[in-house]
Every structure is written in C-alpha cells, then in structure tokens.
Homo-oligomer: A and B are copies of this chain.
Amino acid sequence: MTTTSTDAATEGHEAVALLERTRTTVHPELRTTVESLPDSLRRVAMYHFGWEHADGTPASGRAGKAIRPALVLAAARSLGGDPHHAVRAAVAVELAHNFTLLHDDVIDEDPTRRHRATAWTVFGTPDAIIAGDAMMALALRLLAEDRHPASAAASARLAACVIELCAGQQADCAFEQRDPHEVSLDECVAMATAKTGALLGTSCALGALYAGAGEEQVAALDAFGREAGLAFQLIDDLIGIWGDPDRTGKPAGADLAAHKKSLPVVAALASGTPAAEELAELYRGPMDAGAVARAAAAVERAGGRDWAQFQAAERMSRAVHELSRAVPDLSAADELLALAEFVTRRTR
C-alpha cells in the first residue's frame, strides 16, 4: 500500500491531468453519440450535458468530470489493454450515469445541477423522463452494437448495474420518508453501495472486460470500484456536515439542514447513546443554524464522525486489496489508485 502514500498534492495533480485527458478522448465520442438521438430528445440531452443553452444555441459548459469514463480507461490500461479500444464502454457508463442524474433530479425535484437549472425545470418533467429513458437505451445500444468481443458481457453487466442503481435510488427515496430510527445502518450502507458503488465498480469491470480479463480479475476490479465508491460516499457525507463552505460552495451542515439521512447521521442514530436521542429529536423539527450546529455536535458525540472516517479508510484499504488481486504489480494500476484517491479527497 506504499504506492498510495505518495505526496497528496502530486497525486491530486495526476488525477486531474488524467481526467482532463479522459475528457479529451471520450467527450467527442460521447457528444457524437448524444447527437445521434432523435431531434427532440437530443435537445434535452445536449442541454443536460452543458453543450447547449435551453434555446439550442451552443454553450461551453463542461459535461461532468468524467470520473467513470476515466475508471474504464484506467482499468483497461492496468490490465494491459489498449484504452482506446474501450472508449465506447467509457461513453456507455457516462450515458448511464447521466440517465440517473436526469431521473434523480425529476424524482428529488432538484432545481440545479452543475450550477445550471436542471433539465426538468427547463423542458418539463415528461421530456426529462423521456430523455433519461433514451439515454439509458443509448448506453446499452452502444455496447450491444460494438463489435468488441467483450461487448455482450459488458452490455449485460451495465444493464444489471442499472437495475442496482434503480434499487439504490428507490431505497434512498424510501429512507427519506421513514422515521430516522427505522433506517438501519446496514440498509443505509447497502443503499449507498447500490447508488454510488455499483456504477464505479461496473466502470472498472467494463474496462477489465475490454482488456480481455477473466472473470476473477473482472470481479476484483468491480469490487475495487465498489469499495472506493463507498469510501467516496462516506467522505462526501462527512463534507456534507463538516465541509468548509468556502471550498464546497454550500453552507456548513447543508445535509443536516436538509434532514438528510446520510451515513454518519444514521451511524450516530444507531449508536444507542444519549447524543443519538438528541439528534433524533432535532431531526424531527425544523433546522435553523443553531439546530444544525447542535446536530453536527450530536453526530460527533454519538460517534458518527469517527465511524464514517474509520469506514472510509477501511473501504479504501479493501479497495486497494481487491485491486492488488487483479493487478499484482500495483505500479501498473497507478491511474486507478490516483482516481480512487482523488474521489475520496474531493471538495465537491
């Protein structure tokens, strides 16, 4: 694990440069694929990716950080495959990811995404649902039409992942409607694994498949992505409570103000401590700034912060272990390690 302990700033730079290279490679193909959609659906998709304004004029927005496509290409390279042969798989996971964003925004009634009005607020709920549907079909079509020998296995794997993403999103919605005490920590971890870990794992698995890897290597890379994904979610949840507003662009304790049942919160609620009782009581009422501060302190006293930090480290350790099973010489997996470090250290 010594490879993960190199200078943090350098590694951050490595991942940033890698993501930039990935966007240069993948985004033109992603855009061409999106442009192949029928007119009316293409309009919504082009807006969603930031390539067009609502009126259809060109926009220079970024189509996302491309973490999932970068994982596909890096996984392929780590197993000796040519990343250029896996570009279609990279496009497919990015389309699948953006299908979930389009539908999640409708379901959660989120007004903004990537600092812009969400597609459903601009084009209406029906068009956002339909464009999301088409984007998912496009992802699976792209793989099914690919002549790469791994394309059928990749297509089946991505379709299975979409079902898992759906289960995760459904669980997330259901949790928000339940009393804080009713949600167990196991359920919450399973939900985060399905909602966040599954697609990161599948991205790595697709890269492995496109490098011609065998079942065991594919499974190990999938597990690497899943564990890293869960670490990412834990860090994200910590930032949602204790993140620096100057770096996150959100007020301190934003997730608490929104009554979010994030992982540190559920861990705190499940602790059986007096602080858990206090937190549950606070979550039943409105959350002004004072309540948010008291809730953050209660999560900490109940052990939710420590648990999440320990879990994040534990998951990263498991991720590296899984990776070492698939790629015994970890120096070949430097890109995957850099990406895993990057996603678990981001400030949103």
Q: Which residues of A contact B (CB under 8 A)?
A: 37-41, 99, 103, 106-107, 125-127, 129-134, 136-138, 140-141, 143-145, 151-153, 155-156, 159-160, 162-164, 166-167, 169-171, 173-174
Cβ–Cβ < 8 Å partners of A129 in chain B = 103, 106-107, 129
Given contacts A126-B173, A151-B152, A152-B152, 12 further A-B contacts (CB under 8 A): A38-B170, A39-B167, A41-B167, A41-B170, A127-B170, A132-B133, A133-B136, A137-B163, A138-B159, A140-B144, A143-B144, A152-B155
* 8 A-B pairs with the lowest CB-CB distances in the bound complex, closest first: A141-B159, A144-B156, A38-B167, A137-B162, A144-B155, A134-B166, A107-B126, A145-B156
Assuming the A-B contacts A133-B136, A144-B140, are A163 and B127 also in contact, with contact meaning beta carbons closer than 8 angstroms in the complex?
Answer: no
Cβ–Cβ < 8 Å partners of A170 in chain B = 38, 40-41, 126-127, 130-131
**A interface: dominant SS:** helix
A141 to B140, CA, bound (A): 9
Please tell me if the beta carbons of B127 and A144 are within 8 angstroms of each other in the complex: no
**Of B140, B171, B173, which one neighbours A159 at CB under 8 angstroms?**
B140
- Chain B residue, CB-CB nearest to A36: B163
Please tell me if the beta carbons of A133 and B103 are within 8 angstroms of each other in the complex: yes
Cβ–Cβ < 8 Å partners of A138 in chain B = 159, 163
- Chain B residue, CB-CB nearest to A174: B40
- Chain B residue, CB-CB nearest to A109: B126
Please tell me if the beta carbons of A134 and B173 are within 8 angstroms of each other in the complex: no
A131 to B141, CA, bound (A): 20
Please tell me if the beta carbons of B163 and A41 are within 8 angstroms of each other in the complex: yes
A107 to B127, CA, bound (A): 9
Please tell me if the beta carbons of A136 and B134 are within 8 angstroms of each other in the complex: no
- Chain B residue, CB-CB nearest to A99: B133
Please tell me if the beta carbons of A130 and B169 are within 8 angstroms of each other in the complex: yes
A147 to B85, CA, bound (A): 24
Please tell me if the beta carbons of A166 and B107 are within 8 angstroms of each other in the complex: no
Which of A140, A160, A169 gathers most chain B CB within 10 Å? A140
Please tell me if the beta carbons of A156 and B130 are within 8 angstroms of each other in the complex: no
- Chain B residue, CB-CB nearest to A43: B170
